[in-house]
Chain A
């Protein structure tokens, strides 16, 4: 059980690091928000499941699952609000020069 939780947390950390690299490498707010959504939907999932496995069966597991459910409800809303605000403010998405 411990080993499983360690594996989950390490996988989650890997995705969080990739997302951070993505935020630094990608060119504009639209594509960066894709990297951020990587954090939310997969990094946080693996981290929280790893924590739940580490915790074993107790009240805290329900709290962790509640956090996960709220995260999955809120993150699309926040990402959508950010991108829509950027679009309405007149930002043009970065594009390949050739096309």
Chain B
């Protein structure tokens, strides 16, 4: 499709290959089709993007500040999310937000490295977590 050639050889090859890959992976894929869940995740993305924009500006300010006023630290964050996929989404969101990076994942906690207090507060306040809990509440 992406090569913009719609003749039968390309379409047929693509069909065969994609079905083969799907068939090989069908046994152990956690992503069962669940359209309400996916709809909620798609609604979650613009919110996350707004957070990314805000914290990007904050990190930019930190980097360009002449005195480099950073105070990096490791923080432990307990999480109440039970679903592994929800924890993955939380870890990815934290890492994608500039200023915070997930350093280690344990079954019920995350170790997060934060660039300064304001970035750290993003994670410790549990805003992202409650948003994700909302996404997953009725999705199961």
Contacts and interface: CB of A to CB of B under 8 A. Distances in A.
A80 B115 CA distance: 15
Interface string A21-46: 11001101011011101101110000
Contact of B95 (A15, A66, A80, A93): A80
B60 A38 contact: yes
Max chain A C-beta neighbours (<10 A), residue from B73, B93, B95, B97: B95
Contacts of A3: none
Name A's interface SS.
helix
Nearest to B60: A18
B52 interface: yes
Interface residues of B, number: 31
A37 B98 CA distance: 6
A79 B113 contact: no
Interface string A72-99: 1101110110011001000001111001
Given A31-B70, A31-B115, A87-B104, A26 B95 contact: no
Contact of B63 (A26, A41, A42, A77): A26
Contacts of B72: 28, 30-31, 93-95
B63 A21 contact: yes
A34 B59 contact: yes
Nearest to B49: A45
B2 A41 contact: no
Contacts of A73: 92
Max chain B C-beta neighbours (<10 A), residue from A63, A76, A87, A99: A76
A1 interface: no
Contacts of B113: 30, 33, 83, 93
Interface of B: 2, 4, 52-53, 56, 59-60, 63-64, 68, 70-74, 91-93, 95-104, 111, 113, 115
14 contacts: A21-B64, A30-B101, A31-B70, A33-B101, A37-B97, A42-B56, A42-B98, A59-B4, A62-B2, A63-B2, A75-B95, A76-B96, A95-B72, A95-B73
Interface pairs A-B: 5 shortest CB-CB? A76-B95, A22-B63, A76-B92, A42-B56, A59-B4
